[in-house]
Amino acid sequence: MRVLVACEFSGALRTALLARGHDAWSCDLLPAEDGSNRHITGDVRDLLGDGWDMMLAFPPCTYLCSSGLHWNRRRHERAALTDEAITFVLDLLGAPIARIALENPIGCISTRIRSPDQIIQPWQFGEDASKATCLWLKGLPKLVPTNILPGGPKARRGNQTASGQNRLPPSPDRWKERSRTYTGIAAAMASQWGSA
């Protein structure tokens, strides 16, 4: 299949798809971290009509996720940025592509567009991490967990503090580190959706 991985700079999912024999390309405003020549630096909206069989999209969550939406009442310019982010998500979901999966944390996509089709956790795919991740699907089945770690939803995971918060300290690159696709989830997406 010809697959577009939208808003991915790490190359994790692109690499997993390439390993399964797909013609996979990533696109992001940032250059590819892995230096791949199968990455397009630019606005993914310019590529949406280019005849893709599938798109897996990871739009930035800064102005969409629940953890940041409370700022919109105090900093009104953020509300306009949330509106722009919602428009971007609508552009991705409305792309003329038969199979689409859009990933984002819990946030306002659920209330402003529609509820997700599925919510997954990294620990369901062999990763010692907790991060509720919503999936909006078009023409694709729900992901099936591949390696559920012991402890279930109540277990404290390696990426969490004792109080359950994310362990990464504040830094200029914190957003980048938190936005990376877990390799267990990328492998499941490539394996299960790559044959859909």
Report, as an integer, the average pLDDT of 39-66.
92
Separation CA 93–CA 96 (nearest Å): 9
Residue whose C-alpha is closest to residue 57's, from 117, 135, 146, 2: 135
**pLDDT tens column, 33-48:** 999 999 999 999 999 9
Band of the pLDDT at 185, cuts 50, 70, 90?
Answer: very high
129, pLDDT greater than 60: yes
Band of the pLDDT at 174, cuts 50, 70, 90?
Answer: very low
- To the nearest whole number, what is the mean pLDDT of the chain? 87
Residue whose C-alpha is closest to residue 86's, from 69, 99, 71, 70: 69
Separation CA 71–CA 152 (nearest Å): 32
**pLDDT tens column, 3-14:** 999 999 999 999
**pLDDT tens column, 68-126:** 655 666 667 777 888 899 999 999 999 999 999 999 998 888 999 999 999 999 999 99
Domains annotated on the chain, with CATH: 2-193 (3.40.50.150)
